[in-house]
């Protein structure tokens, strides 16, 4: 005890950054490589090791808001053309609306007495052609030629389902819970909770382009894990990337450096009085990280440091692909620097939601993300990062095989939680693989089907974690929250 | 720096049992049965007339035959698949292979139990389900430490565990603690000096009591504790789709409920009365406009899209907040730990079945119009006018039970349930009688201020028409005057008819003339000295917020699955003291100024606060001793005070107050979070569970989750450092304060004044020297850089003063500033 007291008192030797951290670690005051010493912070939260060997170090989670059509992207269905204009009843297939799965797997937020969501039984044909690509021969629609050129590196899961038939499904795919249930922490925050940072100067869970709207905050929130595990939205403005992350223009850099130095000296002196106060020790470290973050974050998102060829690869030279391209390129820079979980929104809120004019809407939107996403995949591969980084590409639900007729609609598809497609790429997953399927009409995810938390379990599994062992004292989680890793897609 | 790669990686596989390993029933078997089987086969319920809570009962019930696995149905049932499996599929997964293997092995080895094994006690005998009886105050050896009864209970525990209470905190730190705890604002340097002077002139005890009484009488007390209770009662401003905007949850006028909370606390309204008004003001005080907004508690849970969700939230949180009961666990099946059946869940819901919302006109404000009910195709507008409140609308509303937590799956074979609370708490025999609602309450247009307004409006219309006619005589003008007069006459006649109860065209909305009386019955059952839970749950919340640790850690679960109290007798004594204050004992601490306690009514929260902060327990220093720490490193026995991080709002409020810039107005319309330069207290800004739902600064310091803040979490993260260091308002306030404290002071005197003002203590010699060196260094830096232009709020052009501004910023960032020591 005396030893530590003296040690802490001597700490006020100056603002020594890493050296100080190293001293603290040596002394065992804080766990090694943990950004903040606090109870309940991974690896694996309890114990000092991962739950099993990790295949991936980082995740880039790409989310397209609004619900892209699984049919007109990665799960094309010839039967829709064959039976176009007919009702489900008049096809040789079982009517999917009468399947018990229909009600089992979906639940409306809106009470039935307020509004009943319509069902659309008239088959709407495919709005785009499709072809087989690559060695694997995986079918991809013609609006996504660049992603199609990468299929041999991707694993598609065509049997994902969710249970909310409205846009709170955007939160659900991240938290695993329906809007009417108790809210849970988001997948990114679980990763943050379970894993130590790989970079002492950057936060471990960053968000680009989101949350897309005020009510989608749950998608990046940490809920009961506490705010330090929540995603931090970054601006791609290098002058002002973080809230409060910019020194006031009338405070000099050296002035602030001296201030941070003094803060830690004074806190070190106070530590003599309160040697057992864990918050105090955490605070001392937090000031070091804060000071370094102010320079590390702008550096990490400095896209101008990239070569012209790389910038072009992501489509930064084209107006329609720039937004997605910048966010995805920044994501690569962040995982390269050891950020654990980057959640990227390449498109604005809800734009994929195609109740009307699905053809023109999807054609235009596919063009905005196709090249940037493919650019990311190629870039990661070139740099050998595919061995460390897991890419997940997803949306909140698919779109109905039936024509949406609400309000006289004639050219769109409604929300479709019953079956849709996502893809994985990179560390630890198969290449050129398709897992799972929807029925012939693209309606229900065929059994077993994967609820969205199976995606979470897969991500955690590849990172060396078992969701069931990421316990939070006093919180009881349900089976549905954990999901099961999709073992069939693991390399 | 991929440190984790170098760590040893363990691939954990469920370990196979070693052959011959002897199984320990108490350690290896009973916990499995307790977790997975007891809820249906134990003291709570005995499905199939089988109990598994002792070996003897297992054997007697035929579940096991020691030594004979094949003859033990227990093993068969846990291993089978399908309908016969135990636990049933509806109760979750099967036991794991390892658990099954353990059970098999144990039976094989003869199913050895433990000596004198007792069956689970009757759940009704659970400590929290028995009415608290005021325990005898223990007699302790360390009598001279004891200031009031609280200390006697604490000292008894000290003595049992060989702990020595720490001495009283230094006067400055104690003053700062009690200020921050009671009003959420730190003392100024002047107040510190005043206190020290009084302590010297009179006695420290008298000076301290005077401060406590002054703080409890301060209107800021209501703000401070109001925010605490807003946490517990899940205060939230409206949300749903803020960006549209479209109101789905809560209501834009909900801030009036916040003001009611503040005022009720400042008035020291009884906690029992507060509960009654929140749940049923429209039934118990239908004409009291000030009380009606208390039903904001119910309004807050409103959900436009799904009325079932509104009711579900009300059941869950009424259970958790007031009773410490997890009623919600009985939504889909009978409660696993507490004697609450699924039917009782729905009976509890039935209290709320008839409710609906309305918005009443407020004196001095325009008519907000009728409450906009939900229509799927229409946006719900933000109405900030009027008072939002609850009333019983559908007297015949039926509560139907459903399966699986999903209202689509109605249990067709079950009749609608009647309102009632759990039988084990005598809640099944409530007398529920319809309540006649007074005229002005169901027909609010007849409130004098409204019809006076309406009459005046019509008279003004006549005058305006007459003036217009005088300016421009003619038939058209005459017609208008006539019409205006006719309108007034018609209104008067309708008003007269309305008052006399004659048939007439209504002059405003008419609501039902009766209310079901259901919520009144519920409220009276909760806010009752016979209810064993209510007072205990409340004092636990109060204790938690004084000591940063609860007596019952599971603050919203006092049931059998909750944590046991650390000091049961103290909890019960405090609960009794809340419900029926005793006149103060003639012990030091209570004696010098007994007026407050003597006058305290029943359920007085101020009385409880006063007892707590006057106790020796509360006044101890927060730094520890190695001897005690060896026995009780987590301070579970309260041998020292717990230091605690200020709540988010208090960090900001304290910075504003210490600079003398706090806007001290109490209450009023909610502030939007974009008004972050406002100098009002933090609790007046919007709080809602969506992006932008907190002031950015508060969010970083763990602002409350408006959906679940029964207790707040505290984090330490670098964004807090950035916020304190770079927030423009704080930089500006620091400069204001530096200039105030600088006047005619040397660097050394400035350092002392700054420490005293911000940390309520003098700097140590070492701190003084370090800060002095810093001031010189900063001043030197400024001398060597370009002089800043003089701008309002900008740095001082004088290098010495500018260095002092810098030191103030440092002290705002001091751990002792954001910590209540």
**What tens digit of pLDDT does each residue of B213-244 get?**
999 999 999 999 999 999 999 999 999 999 89
Q: Cβ distance A420 to A70 under 8 Å? A: yes
CA–CA distance, B769 with A433 (Å, rounded to integer): 68
Q: Is the pLDDT of residue B15 over 50?
A: no
Nearest CA among B651, B570, B757, B590 for reference residue B213: B590
Q: Is the pLDDT of residue A36 over 90?
A: no
DSSP assigned state of B327: G
Which candidate from B7, B306, B623 shows the least CB-CB separation from A111?
A: B306
Q: Is there a contact between A269 and B633 if contact means CB atoms under 8 Å apart?
A: no
Q: Cβ distance A26 to A19 under 8 Å? A: no
More confident residue, A44 or B544: B544
Nearest CA among A335, A420, A62 for reference residue A210: A62
Q: What is the pLDDT of residue B594?
A: 44
Q: What is the pLDDT of residue B407?
A: 93
Q: Measure the CA angle with vertex B740, ends B738 and B741; round to 5°.
A: 65
More confident residue, B700 or B541: B541
Q: Is there a contact between A255 and B778 if contact means CB atoms under 8 Å apart?
A: yes
Look at the alpha carbons of B339, B340, B341, B347 in this order and tell me if their dihedral is positive or negative.
positive
Q: Measure the CA angle with vertex B593, ends B592 and B596; round to 5°.
A: 155
Q: What is the pLDDT of residue B76?
A: 93
Q: Is there a contact between A38 and B720 if contact means CB atoms under 8 Å apart?
A: no
User: Using CB atoms and an 8 Å cut-off, which of residues 380-439 of chain B contact chain A?
Assistant: 406-408
Q: What is the pLDDT of residue A44?
A: 57
* Chain A partners within 8 Å of B814 (Cβ): 263, 266-267, 270
Q: Give the tokens for residue B606.
A: 């101020």
| A425 membership: H or E segment, kind and range | strand A420-426
Which candidate from A57, A203, A227 shows the least CB-CB separation from B715?
A: A227
Q: Which of the residues B717, B754, B786 would you substitute to probe the A interface, choosing the one with the greatest number of A C-beta atoms within 10 Å?
A: B717
Q: Give the tokens for residue A229.
A: 């595990």
Q: Is there a contact between A265 and B770 if contact means CB atoms under 8 Å apart?
A: yes
Q: Is B467 on the interface with A (CB under 8 A)?
A: no
Q: Is there a contact between A286 and B810 if contact means CB atoms under 8 Å apart?
A: no
For A25, counting Cβ atoms within 10 Å of its Cβ (0-12 exposed, 13-18 middle, 19+ buried), the class is middle
Q: Is there a contact between A110 and B376 if contact means CB atoms under 8 Å apart?
A: yes
DSSP B191-236: HHHHHHHHHHHS-HHHHHHHHHHHHHHSHHHHHHHHHHHHHHTT--
* Chain A partners within 8 Å of B555 (Cβ): none
A130 min Cα distance to partner chain B (Å): 37
For B512, counting Cβ atoms within 10 Å of its Cβ (0-12 exposed, 13-18 middle, 19+ buried), the class is middle
Per-residue pLDDT reduced to its tens digit, B103-126: 999 999 999 999 999 999 999 999
Q: What is the pLDDT of residue B3?
A: 37
Q: Is the pLDDT of residue B145 over 60?
A: yes
CA–CA distance, B631 with B635 (Å, rounded to integer): 9
Q: How far apart are the first and last CA of chain A?
A: 50
Note the residue count of chain B. Answer: 821
DSSP A288-326: HHHHHHHHHHHHHT-GGGS-HHHHHHTTTTSHHHHHHHH
Look at the alpha carbons of B508, B513, B515, B520 in this order and tell me if their dihedral is positive or negative.
positive
For B246, counting Cβ atoms within 10 Å of its Cβ (0-12 exposed, 13-18 middle, 19+ buried), the class is middle
Q: Is there a contact between A266 and B770 if contact means CB atoms under 8 Å apart?
A: yes
CA–CA distance, B445 with A196 (Å, rounded to integer): 63
* Chain B partners within 8 Å of A54 (Cβ): 4
Minimal-distance CA residue of chain A relative to B789: A250
Per-residue pLDDT reduced to its tens digit, B725-783: 999 999 999 999 999 999 889 999 999 999 999 999 999 999 999 999 999 999 999 99
Q: Is there a contact between A214 and B693 if contact means CB atoms under 8 Å apart?
A: yes
B155 min Cα distance to partner chain A (Å): 23
Q: Cβ distance B263 to B273 under 8 Å? A: no
Share of chain B above pLDDT 90, in %: 86
Q: Give the tokens for residue B430.
A: 């409530």
Q: Is there a contact between B239 and A277 if contact means CB atoms under 8 Å apart?
A: no
User: Using CB atoms and an 8 Å cut-off, which of residues 560-599 of chain B contact chain A?
Assistant: none
pLDDT band at residue A476 using 50, 70 and 90 as cut-offs: confident
Minimal-distance CA residue of chain B relative to A210: B691
Instruction: State the pTM of this model.
Output: 0.88
Nearest CA among A49, A42, A330, A86 for reference residue A189: A42
HSE-up of residue A470 (Cα within 13 Å, Cβ side): 29
Cα-based torsion angle of the residue sequence A24, A26, A27, A31 in order, rounded to the nearest 10 degrees: 70
Q: According to the per-residue pLDDT averaged within each range, which of A18-32, A263-277, A405-419 is highest?
A: A405-419
Nearest CA among A178, A195, A176 for reference residue A186: A176
Per-residue pLDDT reduced to its tens digit, B327-380: 999 999 999 999 999 999 999 999 999 999 999 999 999 999 999 988 888 899
Q: Is B782 on the interface with A (CB under 8 A)?
A: yes
* Chain B partners within 8 Å of A47 (Cβ): 10
Minimal-distance CA residue of chain A relative to B562: A474
Q: Is there a contact between A266 and B3 if contact means CB atoms under 8 Å apart?
A: no
Per-residue pLDDT reduced to its tens digit, B578-598: 999 985 533 333 444 444 444
Q: Is there a contact between A243 and B723 if contact means CB atoms under 8 Å apart?
A: yes
Q: Which of the residues A22, A118, A279 would you substitute to probe the B interface, choosing the one with the greatest number of B C-beta atoms within 10 Å?
A: A279
- Domain-wise residue ranges, chain B: 25-120, 126-232+533-642, 233-435+516-522, 444-508, 725-820
Q: Is B733 on the interface with A (CB under 8 A)?
A: no
Q: Cβ distance A86 to A379 under 8 Å? A: no
Mean per-residue pLDDT of chain B: 92
Report the range of poorest mean pLDDT among A193-202, B265-274, B399-408, B549-558.
A193-202
CA–CA distance, A414 with A353 (Å, rounded to integer): 8
Q: What is the pLDDT of residue B595?
A: 45
Q: What is the pLDDT of residue A244?
A: 80
pLDDT band at residue A182 using 50, 70 and 90 as cut-offs: confident
B10 min Cα distance to partner chain A (Å): 6
Q: Give the tokens for residue B189.
A: 């340097």
Listed in sequence order, the DSSP H helices in B109-218 are 149-161, 171-182, 189-201, 204-217
Q: Is the pLDDT of residue A43 over 80?
A: no
Q: Which residues contact B755 (CB under 8 A, 6 or more apart)?
A: B761, B762, B763, B767, B811
CA–CA distance, A424 with A432 (Å, rounded to integer): 10
Q: Which of the residues B4, B316, B720, B808 would you substitute to probe the A interface, choosing the one with the greatest number of A C-beta atoms within 10 Å?
A: B4
Nearest CA among A96, A40, A3 for reference residue A398: A96
* Chain A partners within 8 Å of B819 (Cβ): 277, 279-280
Q: Is B245 on the interface with A (CB under 8 A)?
A: no
* Chain A partners within 8 Å of B690 (Cβ): 214-215, 217
Nearest CA among B238, B237, B312 for reference residue A111: B312
Q: Cβ distance B124 to B37 under 8 Å? A: no
Q: Cβ distance B516 to B392 under 8 Å? A: yes
B702 min Cα distance to partner chain A (Å): 6
Share of chain B above pLDDT 70, in %: 95
Q: Is there a contact between B767 and A273 if contact means CB atoms under 8 Å apart?
A: no
Q: Is B700 on the interface with A (CB under 8 A)?
A: yes
CB pairs under 8 A between A and B: 236
* Chain A partners within 8 Å of B626 (Cβ): 1
Backbone angles phi, psi at A461, to 5 degrees: -55, -45
Minimal-distance CA residue of chain B relative to A407: B377
Q: Is there a contact between B764 and A43 if contact means CB atoms under 8 Å apart?
A: no
CA–CA distance, B805 with B810 (Å, rounded to integer): 9
Crossing angle of the two packed helices A253-273 and A278-300, in degrees rounded to 10: 160
Q: Is there a contact between A244 and B696 if contact means CB atoms under 8 Å apart?
A: yes
Q: Is there a contact between A110 and B305 if contact means CB atoms under 8 Å apart?
A: yes
Minimal-distance CA residue of chain A relative to B788: A250
Q: What is the pLDDT of residue B19?
A: 55
| A157 membership: H or E segment, kind and range | strand A154-161
Which candidate from B406, B691, B715 shows the least CB-CB separation from A228?
A: B715
A116 min Cα distance to partner chain B (Å): 10
B806 min Cα distance to partner chain A (Å): 7
Which candidate from A43, A211, A244 shows the least CB-CB separation from B719?
A: A244
pLDDT band at residue B4 using 50, 70 and 90 as cut-offs: very low
Q: Give the tokens for residue B28.
A: 């290896």
Which candidate from B376, B719, B770 shows the least CB-CB separation from A114?
A: B376
What does the longest C-alpha to C-alpha distance in chain B come to?
115
Q: Which domains does chain A have, with CATH numbers?
A: 1-30+250-300 (no CATH), 44-236+305-489 (3.40.720.10)
Listed in sequence order, the DSSP H helices in A318-357 are 319-336
> Burial code of B465-476, b = ≥16 C-beta within 10 A, e = fewer?
beeebeeeeeee
A455 min Cα distance to partner chain B (Å): 20
Q: What is the pLDDT of residue B584?
A: 56
């Amino acid at each position: 005890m005396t030893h530590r007291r003296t040690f802490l008192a001597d700490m006020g030797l100056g603002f020594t950054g890493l050296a100080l951290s190293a001293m603290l670690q040596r002394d065992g005051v804080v766990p090694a490589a943990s950004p903040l010493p606090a109870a309940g912070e991974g690896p694996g939260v309890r114990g000092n090791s991962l739950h099993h060997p990790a295949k991936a170090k980082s995740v880039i989670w790409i989310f397209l808001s609004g619900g892209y059509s699984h049919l007109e992207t990665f799960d094309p269905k010839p039967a829709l053309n064959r039976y176009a204009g007919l009702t489900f009843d008049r096809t040789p297939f079982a009517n999917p609306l009468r399947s018990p799965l229909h009600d089992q797997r979906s639940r409306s937020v809106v009470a039935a007495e307020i509004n009943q969501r319509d069902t659309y039984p008239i088959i709407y044909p495919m709005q785009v052609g499709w072809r087989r690509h690559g060695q694997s021969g995986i079918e991809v629609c013609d609006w996504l030629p660049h992603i199609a050129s990468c299929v041999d590196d991707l694993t598609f899961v065509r049997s994902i389902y969710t249970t909310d038939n409205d846009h709170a499904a955007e939160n659900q795919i991240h938290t695993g819970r329906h809007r009417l249930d108790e809210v849970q922490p988001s997948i990114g925050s679980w990763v943050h909770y379970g894993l130590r940072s790989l970079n002492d100067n950057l936060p471990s869970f960053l968000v680009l382009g989101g949350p897309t709207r005020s009510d989608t905050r749950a998608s990046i929130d940490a809920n009961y894990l506490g705010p330090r595990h929540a995603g931090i939205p970054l601006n791609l403005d290098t002058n002002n990337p973080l809230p409060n992350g910019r020194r006031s223009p009338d405070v000099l850099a050296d002035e602030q450096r001296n201030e941070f130095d003094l803060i830690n000296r004074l806190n070190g002196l106070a530590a003599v009085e309160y040697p057992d106060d864990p918050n105090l020790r955490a605070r001392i470290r937090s000031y070091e990280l804060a000071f370094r973050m102010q320079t590390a974050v702008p550096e990490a998102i400095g896209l101008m440091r990239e070569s012209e060829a790389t910038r072009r690869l992501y489509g930064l030279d084209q107006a329609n692909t720039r937004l997605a391209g910048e966010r995805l390129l920044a994501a690569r820079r962040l995982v390269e620097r050891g950020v654990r979980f980057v959640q990227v929104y390449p498109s604005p809120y809800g734009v994929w939601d195609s109740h009307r004019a699905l053809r023109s809407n999807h054609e235009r939107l596919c063009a905005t993300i196709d090249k940037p996403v493919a650019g990311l995949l190629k870039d990661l591969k070139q740099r050998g990062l595919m061995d460390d980084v897991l890419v997940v590409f997803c949306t909140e639900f698919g779109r109905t095989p039936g024509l949406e007729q609400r309000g006289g609609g004639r050219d769109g598809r409604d929300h479709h939680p019953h079956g849709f497609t996502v893809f994985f790429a990179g560390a630890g997953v198969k290449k050129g693989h398709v897992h799972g399927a929807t029925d012939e009409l693209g309606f229900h995810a065929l059994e077993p089907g994967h609820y969205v938390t199976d995606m979470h379990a897969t991500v955690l599994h590849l990172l060396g974690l078992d969701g069931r062992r990421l316990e939070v004292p006093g919180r009881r989680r349900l089976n549905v929250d954990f999901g099961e890793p999709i073992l069939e897609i693991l390399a | 720096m991929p440190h984790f790669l170098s760590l040893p990686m363990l691939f954990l596989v469920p370990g196979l049992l070693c052959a011959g390993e002897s199984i320990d029933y108490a350690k290896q078997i009973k916990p499995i049965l307790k977790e997975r089987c007891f809820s249906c086969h134990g003291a709570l319920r005995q499905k199939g007339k089988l109990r598994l809570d002792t070996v003897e009962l297992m054997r007697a019930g035929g579940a096991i035959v020691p030594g004979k696995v094949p003859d033990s149905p227990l093993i068969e049932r846990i291993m089978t698949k399908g309908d016969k499996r135990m636990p049933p599929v509806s109760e979750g997964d099967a036991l794991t292979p390892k658990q099954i293997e353990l059970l098999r092995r144990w039976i094989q080895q003869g199913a050895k139990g433990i000596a004198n094994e007792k069956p689970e006690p009757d759940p009704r005998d659970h400590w929290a389900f028995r009415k608290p009886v005021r325990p005898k105050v223990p007699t302790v050896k360390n009598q001279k430490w004891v200031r009031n009864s609280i200390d006697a209970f604490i000292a008894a525990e000290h003595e049992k565990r060989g702990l020595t209470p720490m001495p009283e905190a230094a006067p400055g730190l104690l003053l700062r603690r009690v200020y921050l705890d009671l009003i959420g604002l730190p003392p100024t340097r002047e107040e510190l000096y005043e206190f020290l002077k009084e302590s010297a002139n009179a006695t420290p005890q008298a000076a301290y009591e005077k401060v406590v009484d002054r703080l409890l009488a301060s209107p800021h007390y209501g703000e401070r504790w109001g925010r605490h209770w807003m946490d517990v009662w899940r205060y939230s401003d409206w949300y749903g789709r803020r960006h549209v905007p479209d109101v789905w949850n809560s209501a834009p006028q909900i801030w009036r409920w916040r003001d009611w909370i503040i005022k009720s606390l400042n008035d020291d309204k009884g906690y029992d009365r507060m509960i009654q008004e929140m749940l049923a003001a429209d039934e118990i005080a239908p004409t009291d406009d000030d009380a009606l907004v208390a039903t904001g508690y119910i309004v807050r849970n409103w959900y436009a899209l799904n009325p079932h969700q509104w009711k579900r939230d009300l059941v869950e949180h009424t259970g958790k907040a007031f009773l410490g009961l997890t009623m919600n666990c009985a939504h889909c099946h009978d409660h696993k730990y507490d004697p609450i059946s699924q039917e009782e869940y729905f009976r509890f819901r039935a209290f709320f079945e008839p409710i609906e919302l309305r918005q009443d006109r407020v004196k001095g404000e325009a008519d907000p119009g009728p409450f906009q009910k939900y229509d799927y195709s229409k946006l719900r507008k933000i109405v900030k006018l009027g008072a939002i409140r609850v009333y019983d609308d559908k007297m015949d509303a039926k509560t139907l039970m459903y399966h699986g937590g999903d209202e689509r799956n109605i249990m067709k074979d079950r009749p609608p349930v009647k309102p009632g609370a759990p039988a084990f708490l005598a809640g099944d025999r409530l007398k529920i009688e319809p309540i006649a609602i007074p005229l002005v309450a169901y027909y609010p247009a007849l409130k004098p201020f409204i019809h006076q307004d309406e009459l005046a409006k019509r008279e003004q219309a006549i005058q305006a028409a007459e003036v217009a006619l005088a300016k421009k005589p003619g038939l058209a003008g005459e017609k208008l005057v006539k019409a205006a007069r006719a309108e007034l006459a018609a209104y008067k006649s309708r008003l007269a008819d309305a008052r006399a109860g004659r048939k007439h065209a209504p002059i405003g909305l008419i609501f039902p003339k009766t209310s079901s009386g259901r919520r009144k019955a519920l409220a009276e059952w909760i806010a009752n000295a016979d209810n064993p839970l209510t007072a205990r749950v409340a004092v636990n919340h109060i204790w938690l917020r004084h000591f940063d640790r609860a007596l019952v850690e599971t603050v919203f679960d006092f049931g059998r699955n909750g944590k046991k109290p650390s000091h049961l007798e103290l909890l019960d004594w405090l609960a009794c003291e809340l419900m029926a204050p005793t006149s103060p004992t003639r012990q030091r601490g209570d004696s010098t100024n007994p007026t407050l306690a003597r006058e305290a009514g029943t359920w007085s929260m101020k009385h409880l606060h006063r007892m707590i902060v006057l106790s020796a327990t509360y006044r101890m220093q927060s730094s520890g001793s190695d001897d005690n720490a060896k026995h009780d490193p987590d301070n579970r026995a309260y041998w020292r005070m717990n230091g605690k991080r200020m709540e988010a709002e208090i960090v900001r409020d304290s910075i504003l107050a210490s600079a003398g810039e706090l806007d001290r107005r109490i209450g009023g319309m909610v502030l939007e979070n974009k008004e972050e330069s406002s100098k009002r207290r933090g609790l007046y800004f919007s709080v809602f569970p969506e992006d932008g739902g907190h002031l950015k600064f508060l969010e970083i310091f763990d602002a409350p989750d408006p959906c679940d803040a029964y207790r707040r979490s505290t984090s330490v993260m670098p964004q807090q450092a950035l916020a304190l260091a770079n927030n423009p308002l704080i930089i500006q306030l620091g400069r204001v304060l530096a200039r105030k404290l600088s006047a005619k002071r040397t660097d050394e005197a400035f350092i002392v004044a700054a420490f005293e003002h911000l940390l309520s203590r003098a700097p140590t010699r070492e701190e003084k020297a370090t800060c002095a060196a810093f001031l010189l260094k900063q001043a030197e830096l400024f001398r060597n850089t370009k002089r800043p232009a003089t701008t309002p709020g900008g740095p001082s052009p004088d290098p010495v003063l500018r260095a002092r501004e810098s030191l103030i910023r440092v002290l705002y960032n001091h751990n002792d500033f954001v910590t209540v020591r």
